[in-house]
A and B are shown apart, each in its own frame.
Chain A
Amino acid sequence: MMKRMMFLAAALVGCNSGTPTSALLADTNRDGVIDDTDRPGKAAWSPSGGAIFLANVDDDDSKGANDASDEVVNGPEDLKDLARINLMPWKAAPATAKGTLTIEGQNADGAVRVFRNDSDTWSVVDGNFSARDLVSGLHLGIEAKDFVQNTDATSWDGYVVLHLIVTDGAKTVVDDSVKLRVAPFIMISNTSALADVWNAAPGDKAGDQFHAGMMTLAGMVNVMLDDATPPSSQGIDQWAEDWWQIGVTYMPGPNGTTQMMRVTQRSAQPDREAGAFAAEQLGPDVGFIWPHTLGKPNGQSDGKGYSLDSFGNHDTLPPYTNGADSYPLGRIINGGNTKHHIDPVVKAFYEAQAAQGPPLLVDTTWLVVGHIDEIMSYVPANTPRGWKLLYASPALAKTMLTTLNTNGNGSAVLFPGKFWLNQQGSQLNVKADITVSALLADTEIMAASDAAAANIAPVLAAIKAAAGLSDDEIIEMPTLFERADYGAGFEYVAHTPGTVNLRALNGAVGIPKPWGPQVGGVDIFEKDLQDRLGTAVNHLGTDGNGLKVVFVEDWDDYHALDGEVHCASTTSINSMPNVKWWEAGR
C-alpha cells in the first residue's frame, strides 16, 4: 500500500503554470514512477520504452465474473491491475479550455477501458475533460477487456494510443498522445520457477500410488501439490495437463515491482466437462480465458484433430537464442500438420501474444493421442543455454534390450507383475510381463517402434534446427511403441511407460516408472535414467550435479490408458518470470 501511494504522489510532480502543460504521461520508461522522464518517446512503443497495461481478466472482488466485465474498479486490489496514466495539470488553464480523450489504434476502441479518479472515486472516462479537470490534472487508469486475440488486420493488435486534444475556443493548444501495449498471456516452461503442481488422481489404488509418487516429487523441491480432480458427469478426467493450463501476465508495478496475475486457460474442447475447473479458479489475481471456436466443437475439420487441442500438445520450449532468433520467454511448440491442427482460434491467440511465438509446429499426427509431450521434454542444465532436450528414443530402448539379450539376459522380464487394463472394477488381468528376448522378437512392437523412431527424427531435427541445439544438448529416453490404430495417421503410442512424459519441477523430475528389464533385482531402465539424469554426467540441474529423480508409478490409471505422469499433472508459478517480456523484442 505504501509503495502504491508513493507511486501516485510522484505522478503529479513536474507541472508548471505557464504555457499549456496538459499532457498524458504513463510509465513509458517502465520504472514504476510516472514523471518527466516518461516524456521522451511516450508516443511510441519498443523493447526499450513504451507503457504497458494488463488484460483485467481476474476477479479481485470474487464476484464470479472477471473485473473487466463491468465498468467499475472492483476494489483496491483491482486498482493495482490498472496501468496508470496521468493527465498533467495546467494550473493556468482558462475556463474556456476543454479537453477530449480518444482511444486510437487498430480496433482499439472497445478493447480497452479508461477510468478517472475523482476524490478517490473511479469512473469510466467519457472522453471529455473540463477546464477544472485540466487545472487540477487527473489520475487515470487503463485496463484491457481481454488479451489480444489474433493478428487479423480487422482485430485489435494489442496497442492503444490515448490521444489528448486540449482546445481553448477554436484553438488547439495541446495535441498529445501516449502509446501503450497490453501484456501478453505467457505460458510457463519446465525451467520456470514453479510453485504448484496440480495432479489428478482417481480415488482408486492405482490413483493413490500415483498421488504418493507426486507427493514425493513435490516434497523434494518444496512445491505445493494441489488437487485437480473435479467431479463431472463424465467421470474423473485424470488428464490434468490436457484440459487446462496456467499461464501468467504481468506489467511493471510501482517502484520496480511487478504486477502479475496467474491466468488459467481451458482447452478448446467444450464438451470436456473437467475444463470447467479452470473457470472455477477465477478469483483474486487469478484470471480465466477460454479461446476456442464457437459454434462447433473446436474448429476441427474432423474428429481426428480433437485431441490436438489438449494442452499436452501445447508445450513451451524453454528460452533460447539461435542467431537472430531470440525467444527469451521460450517458444510455444504444438503438434499437428496442415490437415490436423489445434483449434485455429487458439493458434491465432498464441500468435497474437507474440512473446512466445510464432509457435513451432511439428508433426505429431502419427501418435494416436497426438501430443508433443509424448515424445519431447526439457530439463534445466548448467550450460550456457540453461536446459537440455529429452526425447523418446526407441533406438536406445532397442539397443539396451539387444545388449541384455547378447549378454545372456534375454530371460530378464519387463513389466513384472503388471497387467494390461487392470482397472478398478475389472476382474480381468491380462498379464503384461514379457522377457527381453520375446519383446525383441515381437514383430508388431518392433514395427511400431521403428515407425515411431522414423517419425520422431524429423521432429527432433526441427527442434534442433529452431533452437540451435548441439548433439550434447539432447538426451535419449528409452521408449518402445505399439500400434494403437490403423488408418490415416494417429496410430502409435508408447508401449513401455513413456519415460519422456515426465514432470519437471525445479530441479527434480517425476519419471513414469519404466518397469524395465529386471536383472539382479535392478530395473535396467531405471538405473540408466538415474545414471544419466540424476548425476553430473550430463550437467543437468542448475548446479550441473544432476536432477533429483523420482520414479512415479503410473501404470494402471495412466500408462495403460495412453498417458503418463506429465499428462496427469500441470504446474503454475506465483512469482514473475525473471524475463521482462517487454524487453524481449517480440
Chain B
Amino acid sequence: MSRKLAVMLVASVISPSLALADGAVLRAQDLGNAQSHIATLVAAARSRDAASFDAIQQLNPQRPEYYKRSRSQNPGIAAFAFRRLGPTARFALVDLAVFHAPSHDGLDDRAWQAMQAGLLDAIGVAADPELAPVLRVTFERSANPALQSVSAVGLGRLGASEVALLTAHARPTDARYFAALRGLGASHQPTATATLAALLDAATTEQEAAEIANALAEAGSAWVWETGKLGSTSDESAVRTQAAEALVRNYGRFANEAVQPMEAAVVRVGHKDTRAMISRAPASARMQHLSTLLR
C-alpha cells in the first residue's frame, strides 16, 4: 500500500467524526471546501506523529494556571511553546483550532482568546500554504480584532494570493483594515510594501499613519532582512527602499500619535540612503531631528 493511499484510508475513517466537531477557533464546517483536505492532513499527521498530538493536550497555555501565574495581567498569546513544538506539530495545533477544542474550563474570556491567538500564531509561523484556509477563514469571519490580526500576519507570510486578499481589505472603510495592514507588513513582498507606501501617502489620520508605519517597519526591518530568510537581494532593496521613502516622505505630515511609530519605523528600516532621503525633503527642525535618530 502506498503512503498516499494509507493516508486516504485513515482520513476516510477519521474525517467524518472530526468534521462534526468544533475547534477552539473555528467550526470545521467553516472551512468549506477545504475541510476535508485539512482533516486528511491532520489525520495523516496524527498517525505519523501521535506524540505531538498527545503533547499538545498537556500544554500549559491551554490551562488556567498558566494565565493565573503569568506576570502579564492581560494574558498574551503564550505561543512560544506552541511555536517551538516543531514543524509536525502544526497539524496538532490545527486539530485544536478547528476540530477538537481543548477544555474551556477555568479559562476566562481573555485567557481563552489568548489561547486562540496562540494557536493561530503558531500555525501562521509554520507558513504552510496548505493551512492557509484556517487563517483565511479566521481573518474573514472573526469579529475579534486580535484574531483578525494574528491570522492576517500568518497570511502575510504566505504567497501572492494571500497578499491579494489582504490588499483587498486594506481600505480605511474595511472592518479588517488594521489587521490587513499588519498582514501586509508581515509579507516582505515588494507588492505588499508598495500597497503600504501608497496607503501612507493617502493616510489622513494619525492612528492610520501609525498603523501603516508599524507595518512598514515590519516589512523593511534591517534586522529581519539580515536573517537571510526572506527573499532575494532585489526584493530586499525594493521593500526597504519603498518603506524608507514613504516614511520620510510622509513624516512631516503628522505631528501627534504617528510621530513615534514613524520615527521607530525609519530607524528599524535603517536604509543606507535615509540621510539622503531626509536631505531631499523640505528642511525643517523635525527632519533634522529625524536624522539624529538614525543608528
Contacts and interface: CB of A to CB of B under 8 A. Distances in A.
A363 B260 CA distance: 10
Contact of B260 (A423, A430, A458): A458
Majority DSSP secondary structure for residues of A touching B: loop
B221 A421 contact: no
Nearest to A371: B71
Interface in A470-487: 482, 484-487
Nearest to A449: B223
Interface stretch (A169-177, A231-239, A384-392): A231-239
A426 B60 contact: yes
A391 to B, nearest CB: 15
Contact of B121 (A420, A441, A486): A486
A113 interface: no
A457 B293 contact: yes
Interface in A481-503: 482, 484-488, 490, 493, 495
Contacts of A428: 55, 58-60, 81
A303 B74 contact: yes
A454 B76 contact: no
Interface residues of A, number: 60
Given A307-B72, A454-B267, A443 B149 contact: no
A442 interface: yes
A557 B66 CA distance: 10
Interface in A426-465: 426-428, 430-432, 440-444, 446-447, 449-451, 453-455, 457-458
A9 interface: no
Contacts of A27: none
A307 to B, nearest CB: 4
B264 A447 contact: no
Q: Which of A236, A239, A310, A487 has the most CB of B within 10 A?
A: A487
Contacts of B229: 441, 443
B165 interface: no
Contacts of A368: 72, 74, 76
A369 interface: yes
B186 to A, nearest CB: 9
Of B72, B74, B263, B293, chain A has the most CB atoms within 10 Å of the CB of B72
Interface of A: 234-236, 238-239, 242, 269, 272, 303-304, 306-307, 310, 312, 363, 368-370, 395, 398, 420-421, 423, 425-428, 430-432, 440-444, 446-447, 449-451, 453-455, 457-458, 482, 484-488, 490, 493, 495, 557-558, 561-563, 567
**When A and B form their complex, which 8 residue pairs have the shortest distance between CB atoms, in order from nearest?**
A563-B71, A454-B264, A484-B76, A450-B223, A486-B149, A420-B81, A307-B73, A562-B71
Interface of B: 55, 58-61, 65-66, 68-74, 76-81, 83-85, 110, 114, 117, 121, 125, 145-146, 149-150, 153, 178, 182, 217-218, 221-224, 226-230, 260, 263-265, 267-268, 293, 295
